[in-house]
């Protein structure tokens, strides 16, 4: 879920922040190569597993491999084709819709759970904390299979429900399929986000709460004035992770493909699935590389916008 | 299953793409025959019968100068992906490769495989069943030799048929099939499932092949696509549209899905038209129906005819980059036409060699393997029926050189006809357009009719 792409906007921020501070300018003059001795093991790995693949993907996206005619340089042709590729944009639209609906629901649930656990008013908080986090430890392949069996309108849990009540519910029909996938993702990642929220809540010193209660603040006022402002920082992180995750949607729809009735999940259901099919069954790996680059740019742009926005919020 | 593999393969899409690109260069074919009696061969393939080690040991004993290193590449899909990477890179390719029949043309067109008539393989034509042999020809030259075959068969659940008052043995034509479908539907079951997903692509090609359709014609760099105007296609379209419109087929259940196995197991799906390799899948997928299933010859479009078609099958080819082509061919010949073929047949591969198909041991009901299968099929001598089908004549049929794309696009386009969004004719017309676009992307000159 947390792919390297997500790290980059976060990684940019210290520099961005640095540019506005006087120390940064002074450090620049004191540039010292000794630091690289400590850096090189990381730098070598980083270049090999991160920079080179990306540069190579960009490089091959300027070519076209044909069964007749072999490989030739085509410049920006792949990108031009992508611009008017309806299948591509329909898949982007689908994950965008998914993101807009699923991410807020999931983060709201995660924040509510974190606040509940942090309230110290619950019994068995440890059990609650670990059990909501547990789905995150289940591999996506397994959890999708589990949910697929639950959803089955003929032989699944939904099927049993239908038999018992004489209803005709089908949560895998094309019109609600995306919501069904969203439910799987919410189940998988709410606990993970809850943990991020919870950890930032637990950094608040207890003296603040004591001071608040001495001042006569109610529980709601404490939540509103102390806890929620503290959550803002981690909210930016969880939003970025979640957006990246949703845009990279692949496992859940690919596995459900053979579990939904008919062919509701096409080979271009999400951008990643489209890229996968283009390169592995379409023999168009160069075009798929162009697609991957464009998706990375779109995702980074959105993540960056969120980051900038949250920085502005924090400056206030 | 296949999807799980997809997931594993694509977790790092960008990184994976790296391996796929690279520019390649061809090499001079004639210089690479090598020494036919002395070589170290690399062989890529999958090992469904778990018999490769045994076959290779026997081959090496018979040919002391040649060693074979078997590299299990897992599945047909992975093997062809790995091969196209190796060919593109210009090195790392094996000497001998196992391929799914329809992908052979793809590699033949792109000059990845050796024309086996250079080694006299064209003279073996009459020794193999016509179906698998015909699929492996490109420009009338064999580019691979078949290891197995999959004549399309009609499997039916006798218990469900009896309940509906239908005699499976009496279904001789597709018209009979249609009448039976109506009676079976009246009992609540479906005669079969058709959902138009990519898993239905193989049976689809087999059925239009049997109908005499020629939707794809490949002539060098020219491709003609005719998905709807062809006479054979027309009769297929009219027939299937009727089944859809009258709700006689289960259009919701894709082949190879979990629901599919369950419906085969509880009798909701009463019959299948699928390859002769199906018995073992039925035995494991529908254990509750043991004793109920039967197998019969495929219904015919015209009464009295005996036309067959192929569904699936794999073959062995010699890779052009190989420096030991002569020795590689020796191994291919041994496995497909020589003693290796018998070993494979003994370990569960459905043979394509006429000699084995007609042999007494193949249809002998007293062998362990046959006993088990026949018991599941209510005492029927299954291999006898299958063997007859394998020897029936088939028309010539050409797949597109980009068959994997044709398979995945089939699901996207044709399934719309089964949900009732559009007619089958429209769906196939759209499908044809999609195939034409892909052909043009790949550098072919495509004509759509």
Mean pLDDT, each 10-residue run in order, chain B (449 residues): 42 38 40 84 86 92 94 83 82 93 85 93 92 87 92 96 95 96 96 92 93 89 92 96 96 89 95 91 92 96 91 91 94 94 84 90 85 93 92 85 89 93 96 96 92
Strands lying side by side in the sheet with B314-318: B66-72, B39-45, B96-100, B314-318, B145-146
Check: CB of residue B309 under 8 Å from CB of residue B212.
Answer: no
Cβ contacts of B262 on chain A, cutoff 8 Å: 154-155
Contact A67 B109 (CB under 8 A): yes
For residue A264, the tally of other CB atoms under 10 A from its CB is 19
Closest CA to B184 of B63, B270, B74, B117: B270
Of all residues in chain A, the one with the smallest CA distance to B419 is: A262
Extract the runs of DSSP E, i.e. beta strands, from A158-241: none
- Taking the C-alpha atoms of residue B2 and residue A258, their distance in angstroms, rounded to an integer, is 9
pTM equals 0.82
Average pLDDT over residues A284-313: 90
Is residue A18 predicted with pLDDT exceeding 60? no
Mapping DSSP to helix (H, G, I), strand (E, B) and coil, where does residue B225 land? Answer: strand
Instruction: Please report the domains of chain B, with CATH numbers, ordered by start residue.
Output: 31-149+311-357 (3.40.190.10), 152-309+396-448 (3.40.190.10)
- Taking the C-alpha atoms of residue B275 and residue A298, their distance in angstroms, rounded to an integer, is 46
Q: How far is CA B336 from CA B102, B242, B314, in A?
A: 17, 42, 11
B125 and chain A: CB distance < 8 Å anywhere? no
Q: Which helix (H) or strand (E) holds B293?
A: strand B293-296
pLDDT of residue B12: 39
Choose the closest CB to A67 out of B20, B412, B443: B443
- Taking the C-alpha atoms of residue A292 and residue A32, their distance in angstroms, rounded to an integer, is 37
Cβ contacts of B195 on chain A, cutoff 8 Å: 261-263
B85 and chain A: CB distance < 8 Å anywhere? no
Cβ contacts of B198 on chain A, cutoff 8 Å: 263, 267
Of A53-57, A119-123, A180-184, A226-230, minimum mean pLDDT range: A119-123
- Taking the C-alpha atoms of residue A180 and residue A151, their distance in angstroms, rounded to an integer, is 8
Residue B27's φ and ψ, nearest 5 degrees, are -140, 160
Of all residues in chain B, the one with the smallest CA distance to A273 is: B10
The token pair at B195 is 């959902």
Q: Hey, which residues 7-36 in chain B have their CB within 8 Å of chain A?
A: 7, 9-10, 13-18, 20-21, 23-24
- Taking the C-alpha atoms of residue B106 and residue B121, their distance in angstroms, rounded to an integer, is 19
- Taking the C-alpha atoms of residue B416 and residue B421, their distance in angstroms, rounded to an integer, is 5
Choose the closest CB to A279 out of B15, B20, B77: B20
Of all residues in chain B, the one with the smallest CA distance to A254 is: B3
Average pLDDT over residues A97-101: 95
The token pair at B292 is 């109920």
Confirm whether the ipTM is greater than 0.90.
Answer: no
Residue A273's φ and ψ, nearest 5 degrees, are -65, -40
Q: How far is CA B383 from CA A236, B122, B323, B361, B390, in A?
A: 65, 28, 40, 10, 10
pLDDT of residue A213: 87
Check: CB of residue B236 under 8 Å from CB of residue B211.
Answer: yes
Residue entry with tokens 């990375």: A296
Helix A157-165 with A140-151: angle, nearest 10 deg: 20
Bridge partners (DSSP) listed for residue B317: B97
Strand B145-146 and strand B314-318: the pairing is: antiparallel
A36-45 pLDDT, tens digit each = 888 899 999 9
Pairs of residues, one from chain A and one from chain B, whose beta carbons lie less than 8 Å apart = 155
Residue B426's φ and ψ, nearest 5 degrees, are -60, -45
B74 and chain A: CB distance < 8 Å anywhere? no
pLDDT of residue B18: 37
- The fold for domain A4-315 equals MetI-like fold (1.10.3720)
Mapping DSSP to helix (H, G, I), strand (E, B) and coil, where does residue B309 land? Answer: coil
Extract the runs of DSSP E, i.e. beta strands, from B226-278: 249-250, 271-275
Choose the closest CB to B20 out of A251, A267, A285: A285
A238-282 pLDDT, tens digit each = 999 999 999 999 999 999 988 888 888 999 999 999 999 998 888
State the greatest distance between any 2 C-alpha atoms of chain B, in Å, as a whole number. Answer: 66
Rg of the Cα atoms in chain A: 24
Contact A292 B14 (CB under 8 A): yes
Helices and strands, number each (H, E), in chain B: 20, 15
Contact A56 B21 (CB under 8 A): yes
pLDDT of residue B5: 42
Closest CA to A292 of A279, A283, A304: A279
Check: CB of residue B255 under 8 Å from CB of residue A148.
Answer: no
Average pLDDT over residues A190-214: 91
pLDDT of residue B25: 37
The percent of residues in chain A predicted with pLDDT above 70, rounded, is 89
Bridge partners (DSSP) listed for residue B141: B138
Mapping DSSP to helix (H, G, I), strand (E, B) and coil, where does residue B120 land? Answer: coil
Check: CB of residue B403 under 8 Å from CB of residue B218.
Answer: no
Of all residues in chain B, the one with the smallest CA distance to A49 is: B15
Residue count of chain A:
316
pLDDT of residue A10: 40
pLDDT of residue B135: 85
Q: Which helix (H) or strand (E) holds B142?
A: strand B141-142
Cβ contacts of A286 on chain B, cutoff 8 Å: 21
B411 and chain A: CB distance < 8 Å anywhere? yes
* Mean pLDDT estimate for chain A: 87
Cα–chain center distance at A76: 29
Query: H helices of B311-367, where?
Result: 325-336, 339-346, 354-357, 360-363
Pick A26 or A146 by higher pLDDT. A146
pLDDT of residue A30: 64
Contact B81 A250 (CB under 8 A): no
Alpha-carbon distance B228 to nearest alpha carbon in chain A (angstroms): 22
pLDDT of residue B204: 95
pLDDT of residue B24: 35
Closest CA to B132 of B113, B143, B121, B146: B146
Residue count of chain B:
449
- Taking the C-alpha atoms of residue B137 and residue B141, their distance in angstroms, rounded to an integer, is 5
Average pLDDT over residues A282-299: 93
Cβ contacts of B442 on chain A, cutoff 8 Å: 66-68, 283
Closest CA to B29 of B323, B331, B332, B316: B323
């Amino acid at each position: 879920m947390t792919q390297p792409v997500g790290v980059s906007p976060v990684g940019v921020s210290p520099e961005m922040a640095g540019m506005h501070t006087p120390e940064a300018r002074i450090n620049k003059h004191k540039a010292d190569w000794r630091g690289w001795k400590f850096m090189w093991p990381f730098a070598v790995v980083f270049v090999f597993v991160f920079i080179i693949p990306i540069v190579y993907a960009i490089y091959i996206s300027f070519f076209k491999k044909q069964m007749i005619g072999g490989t030739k340089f085509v410049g920006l042709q792949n990108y031009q084709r992508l611009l008017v590729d309806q299948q591509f944009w329909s898949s982007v639209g689908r994950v965008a819709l998914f993101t807009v609906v699923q991410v807020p629901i999931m983060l709201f649930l995660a924040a509510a759970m974190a606040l509940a656990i942090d309230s110290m008013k619950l019994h068995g908080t440890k059990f609650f904390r670990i059990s909501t986090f547990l789905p995150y430890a289940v591999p996506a392949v397994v959890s999708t299979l589990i949910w697929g069996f639950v959803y089955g309108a003929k032989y699944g849990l939904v099927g049993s429900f239908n038999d018992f009540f004489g209803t005709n519910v089908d949560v895998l029909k094309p019109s609600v399929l995306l919501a069904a996938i969203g439910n799987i993702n919410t189940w998988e990642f709410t606990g993970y986000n809850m943990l991020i929220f919870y950890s930032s809540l637990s950094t608040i010193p207890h003296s603040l709460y004591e001071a608040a209660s001495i001042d006569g603040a109610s529980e709601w006022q404490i939540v509103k004035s102390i806890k929620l402002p503290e959550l803002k920082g981690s909210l930016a992180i969880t939003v970025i992770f979640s957006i990246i995750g949703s845009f990279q949607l692949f496992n859940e729809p690919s596995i459900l493909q053979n579990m939904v009735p008919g062919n509701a999940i096409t080979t271009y259901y999400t951008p990643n699935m489209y890229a996968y099919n283009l390169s592995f069954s379409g023999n168009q790996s160069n075009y798929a590389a162009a697609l991957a680059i464009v998706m990375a740019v779109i995702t980074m742009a959105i993540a960056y916008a969120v980051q900038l926005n949250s920085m502005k919020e924090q400056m206030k | 299953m296949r999807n799980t593999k997809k997931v594993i393969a694509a977790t790092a899409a960008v990184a994976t793409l790296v391996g796929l690109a690279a520019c390649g260069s061809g090499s001079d074919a004639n210089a690479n025959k090598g020494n036919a009696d002395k070589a170290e061969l690399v062989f890529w393939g999958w090992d469904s019968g778990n018999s490769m080690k045994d076959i290779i040991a026997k081959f090496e004993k018979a040919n002391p100068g040649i060693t074979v290193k078997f590299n299990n590449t897992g599945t047909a899909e992975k093997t062809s992906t790995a091969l196209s990477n190796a060919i593109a890179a210009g090195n790392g390719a094996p000497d001998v490769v196992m391929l799914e029949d329809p992908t052979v043309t793809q590699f033949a067109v792109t000059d990845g495989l050796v024309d086996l008539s250079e080694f006299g393989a064209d003279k073996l034509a009459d020794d193999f069943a016509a179906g698998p042999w015909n699929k492996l020809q490109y420009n009338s030259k064999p580019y691979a030799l078949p290891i197995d075959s999959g004549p399309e068969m009609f499997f039916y659940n006798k218990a469900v048929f009896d309940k509906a008052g239908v005699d499976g043995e009496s279904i001789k034509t597709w018209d009979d099939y249609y009448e039976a479908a109506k009676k079976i539907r009246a009992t609540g079951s479906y005669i079969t499932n058709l959902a138009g997903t990519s898993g239905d692509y193989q049976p689809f090609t087999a059925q239009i092949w049997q109908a005499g359709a020629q939707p794809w014609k490949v002539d060098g760099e020219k491709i003609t696509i005719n998905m709807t105007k062809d006479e054979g296609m027309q009769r297929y379209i009219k027939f299937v549209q009727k089944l859809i419109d009258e709700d006689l087929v289960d259009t919701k259940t894709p082949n190879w899905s979990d629901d599919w196995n369950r419906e085969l197991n509880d009798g909701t799906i009463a019959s299948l038209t699928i390859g002769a390799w199906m018995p073992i899948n039925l035995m494991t997928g529908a254990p509750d129906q043991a004793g109920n299933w039967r197998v019969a010859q495929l219904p015919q479009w015209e009464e009295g005819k005996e036309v067959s078609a192929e569904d699936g099958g794999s073959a062995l080819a010699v890779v052009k980059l190989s420096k030991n082509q002569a020795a590689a061919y020796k191994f291919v010949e041994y496995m497909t036409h020589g003693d290796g073929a018998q070993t494979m047949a003994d370990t569960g591969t459905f043979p394509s060699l006429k000699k084995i198909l007609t042999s007494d041991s193949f249809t002998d009901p007293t062998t362990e393997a046959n006993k088990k299968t026949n018991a599941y099929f209510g005492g029927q001598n299954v291999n006898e029926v299958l063997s007859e089908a394998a020897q029936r004549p088939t028309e010539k049929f050409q797949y597109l050189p980009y068959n994997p794309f044709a398979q995945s696009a089939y699901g996207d386009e044709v399934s719309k006809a089964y949900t009732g969004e559009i007619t089958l004719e429209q769906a196939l017309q759209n499908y044809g357009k999609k195939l034409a676009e892909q052909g043009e992307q790949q550098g072919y000159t495509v004509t759509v009719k």
